[in-house]
């Protein structure tokens, strides 16, 4: 970044928040910058400049010394000190390796907004996905049973779908927000939402969030029932493990403990995925890295489809795809088996039928 490329104040604040999020900074630190951007956006350039000149920025509720300094420096045509610091320290590659796979990915199939336990509005997630070069983004907020994550009731999900439609009408035709959900796998393997509503979605990620230490045989039956369901598109974070404290999400302070993986017959579950056409998620979150390497090798051996997704709860976490791509390449996942390397029409057709389109089948 050069002096000639000094950003507008809103852009500077958003970029700082993005870089903090991708480095898993505390939510309160990130929210200060995103809130400041939302406060000054409707004011207009002249009013912001007037307040900088008169020294009245901090009279606005939600603008503190740190965010005011960013705004003042951007208005003066400078790269804000905080932004320059983060560009130097936190803007580099998250990991080495996986670059070719990352270049092939067209979108992200597991993301959350502030409709459930994400920290940002849908529009902010979409804007960042477009800035990252995605062709599509699946909005997969939690289902009704996961109350701790503000899961969506059937009525709230229906309302969200009208918002998705409205957003898509205003988007460039080169990008699409997919109607989707992260639906809980219940104890008996059923999916936690009305069947007709699930069927109306473009894509469904099914995940276990409760009774993670269920007896292995019962967990195996539970997961097989879920992946065999014709409405399940992707099996999400299959072991539910957490390798390090969860950071950078709304509510992370209360849910940050490490967690062992669930126990189940991985070969049986992945065989069911192959037979039913369900993809296995390679969850890119640093604290998940799910499936573990030994299970990922089994899924590759059996010929599973995969989805490399972020499980992002904030815009900056959309960059976590780099981490999932590195793991996928390291273990030998073939790009043609990764469903989010496919064009959106092929992806949606597969999610509806769970059959790989003819022209995408490996020879």
d(CA 114, CA 120): 5
Average pLDDT over residues 24-46: 92
Going through 98-152 in order, the beta strands assigned E by DSSP cover 107-111, 136-139
Residue 26, pLDDT above cutoff 90: no
**CA 88 to each of CA 28, 73, 106: distance values in angstroms, whole numbers, following the listed order:** 22, 18, 28
Give the pLDDT of residue 27.
Answer: 79
**Residue 208, token pair as written in the block:** 């276990």
pLDDT digits (tens, 9 = 90+) for 136-166: 999 999 999 898 889 999 999 999 999 999 9
Which CATH architecture is the domain 99-360 placed in?
A: Alpha-Beta Barrel (3.20)
Nearest to 118 by CA among 348, 317, 337, 341: 317
d(CA 202, CA 200): 7
CB 83 within 8 A of CB 9: no
d(CA 334, CA 209): 29
Residue 87, pLDDT above cutoff 60: yes
Number of H helices, E strands in the chain: 14, 7
Average pLDDT over residues 292-307: 98
**CA 286 to each of CA 194, 318, 327, 345: distance values in angstroms, whole numbers, following the listed order:** 32, 12, 11, 30
Nearest to 325 by CA among 18, 92, 104, 91: 104
Give the pLDDT of residue 147.
Answer: 86
Q: Across the chain, what does the average pLDDT equal?
A: 94
pLDDT digits (tens, 9 = 90+) for 266-279: 999 999 999 999 99
**Residue 261, token pair as written in the block:** 């993986």
Give the pLDDT of residue 244.
Answer: 84
d(CA 70, CA 80): 5
**Residue 322, token pair as written in the block:** 């780099």
Average pLDDT over residues 19-37: 91
Distance of CA 163 to the CA centre of its chain: 18
**Residue 137, token pair as written in the block:** 């983004």
Give the pLDDT of residue 253.
Answer: 43
pTM to 2 decimal places: 0.93
Give the pLDDT of residue 311.
Answer: 97
- Name the CATH topology of 3-89: DNA polymerase; domain 1 (1.10.150)
Which residues, other chains included, contact 358 with Cβ-Cβ below 8 Å and sequence gap of 6+? none
pLDDT digits (tens, 9 = 90+) for 165-214: 999 999 978 899 999 999 999 999 999 999 999 999 999 999 999 999 99
Q: What percent of the chain has pLDDT over 70?
A: 95
* Three-state DSSP class for residue 61: coil
d(CA 328, CA 123): 29
Give the pLDDT of residue 1.
Answer: 42
Question: Which residues are bridge partners to 206 per DSSP?
Answer: 183, 235
d(CA 101, CA 198): 30
Domain boundaries, the chain: 3-89, 99-360
pLDDT digits (tens, 9 = 90+) for 309-329: 999 999 999 999 999 999 999
Give the pLDDT of residue 362.
Answer: 63
pLDDT digits (tens, 9 = 90+) for 43-66: 999 999 999 999 999 999 999 999
Q: Which residues of 105-137 are buried (b: 16+ CB within 10 A; e: fewer)?
A: bbbbbbbbbbbbbbbbbbebbbebbbebebbbb
pLDDT digits (tens, 9 = 90+) for 211-254: 999 999 999 999 999 999 999 999 999 999 999 876 656 544 44
Residue 257, pLDDT above cutoff 80: no
């Amino acid at each position: 970044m050069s002096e000639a490329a000094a950003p507008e104040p809103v852009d500077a604040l958003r970029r700082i928040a993005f870089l903090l999020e991708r480095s898993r900074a505390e939510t309160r630190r990130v929210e200060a910058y995103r809130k400041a951007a939302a406060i000054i956006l409707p004011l207009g350039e002249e009013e912001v400049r007037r307040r900088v000149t008169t020294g009245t920025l901090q009279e606005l509720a939600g603008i503190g010394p740190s965010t005011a300094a960013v705004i003042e420096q951007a208005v003066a045509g400078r790269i804000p000190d905080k932004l320059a610091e983060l560009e130097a320290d936190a803007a580099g590659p998250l990991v080495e390796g996986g670059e070719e796979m990352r270049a092939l990915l067209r979108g992200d199939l597991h993301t959350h907004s502030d409709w459930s336990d994400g920290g940002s509005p849908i529009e902010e997630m979409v804007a960042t996905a477009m800035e990252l070069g995605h062709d599509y983004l699946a909005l997969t907020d939690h289902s009704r049973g996961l109350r701790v994550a503000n899961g969506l009731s059937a009525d709230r999900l229906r309302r969200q779908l009208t918002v998705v439609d409205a957003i898509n009408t205003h988007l460039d035709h080169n990008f699409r927000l997919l109607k989707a959900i992260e639906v809980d796998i219940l104890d008996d393997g059923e999916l936690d939402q009305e069947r007709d509503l699930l069927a109306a979605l473009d894509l469904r990620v099914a995940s276990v969030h409760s009774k993670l230490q269920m007896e292995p045989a019962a967990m195996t039956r539970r997961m097989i029932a879920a992946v065999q369901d014709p409405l399940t598109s992707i099996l999400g974070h299959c072991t539910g493990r957490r390798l390090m404290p969860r950071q950078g999400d709304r509510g992370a302070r209360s849910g940050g403990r490490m967690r062992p993986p669930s126990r189940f017959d991985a070969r049986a579950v992945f065989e069911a995925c192959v037979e039913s056409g369900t993809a296995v998620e390679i969850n890119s979150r640093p604290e998940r890295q799910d499936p573990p390497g030994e299970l990922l090798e089994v899924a590759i051996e059996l010929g599973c489809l995969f989805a490399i997704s972020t499980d992002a709860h904030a815009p900056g976490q959309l960059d976590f795809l780099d981490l999932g791509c590195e793991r996928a390449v390291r273990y030998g996942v073939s790009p043609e088996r990764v469903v989010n390397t496919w064009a959106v029409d092929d992806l949606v057709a597969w999610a509806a039928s769970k059959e790989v389109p003819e022209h995408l089948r490996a020879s």
